[in-house]
Amino acid sequence: MSIMRKTLGLNAETEIPFVGFGTYLIPDDQAAEAVRTAIGVGYRHIDTAAVYANEDGVGEGIRAGMKDNGLTRQDIFVTTKLWPGNPEWNEAAKTEEQTGIEAHESLARLGLDHVDLYLIHSPHGGAERLGQWKALQKLKSSGKARAVGVSNYNIAHLEEIRNSGLAMPDANQIELHPWSQKPELIAYMRANNIAPIAYSSLAPLSTWRAEPGQDSAKTNDMKNGDDLLLRTAAKYGVSEAQLLLRWGVQNGYAVLPKSLNRERMLKNLDLDGFSIDESDMADIRSLDRGDGIAWSIGDPSKIS
């Protein structure tokens, strides 16, 4: 089966396409055309978030893309995320009630009656984390979200949910790429049936977030890329981006490449025709540098 059509199970009723279109850092006034183009070239999984400030444009693009291509709402998997608030940034953490209100506001901005996956964007809710999670359970029960989960949670945050007696998340969206492989967290998630969704899959590329206003935690050394990845991509006759995305999919992660360029969108979907052999997968495992460079989850055993 083509990777374009492969899905990853989130729960008994819901499956997520392995390759999605990420919209982080796409301005609202460009989001509609980007999403419309992405759907036109074959993407059936669109990822956004309240904090991206582009849900209006993403929703417009989804409707246009469906109309252009004769698709229905059931053909497009849509993810959005709650910004939980962050007391460290002088933002009050959202309460359980506020979480429910914010979820419905996201639906209104998207122009949808439900989303396929709704996530808590980060664990910064602190004392309100479990209340936020209870609100997501209610959202799922009401049919406003087919699946619910979290993002940027470490093992301690997930254990907090498990120890509360509440249902575990369907998914955890985290930074995953050869430089940040998080084997302990991935093993915990698999043991608890929490699907891994990868973001920043292309972080090892020298051009990753190279545009103005898109600074990351990359050091100058990191910006030089990685010779092993270059050589391995050349071996398979693919781009580094295709290699990195294929690596994620072969590991069982849904991936979320982003581009405003139609040809790159197509290339990022073109992951068939090659498979990374076990020897090369082992070599790539040796590249792990630990915690993320886009977002640090910190000590996996500690909660904050």
Question: Any catalytic annotation for residue 236?
Answer: no
Q: What share of the chain is helix, strand, coil (3-state, %, to 5)?
A: 45, 15, 40
Is residue 54 within 8 A of residue 78, CB to CB? The reply is no
Token readout for 92 is 């009050």
* Nearest residue to 202 (alpha-carbon basis) of 242, 252, 157, 144: 242
**147, 209, 254, 298 from 15: Cα distances, Å:** 9, 29, 11, 29
Closest CA to 95 of 138, 134, 52, 53: 134
d(CA 141, CA 143): 6
Please pick, among 43, 52, 199, 253, the residue that the annotation labels catalytic: 52
Alpha carbons within 13 angstroms on the beta-carbon side of residue 270 total 11
Q: Which of 86, 73, 146, 88 is nearest to 116 (CA)?
A: 146
Torsion of CA 5, 236, 288, 283, to 10 degrees: 120
Task: Give CA–CA dist 207/205, Å, rounded.
Answer: 5
Closest CA to 20 of 117, 109, 87: 117
Task: Tell me: is residue 121 an annotated ligand-binding position.
Answer: yes
Where in the sequence numbering do the catalytic residues fall? 52
Please report, in range form, the residues annotated as the binding site: 121
What are the binding residues for substrate?
121
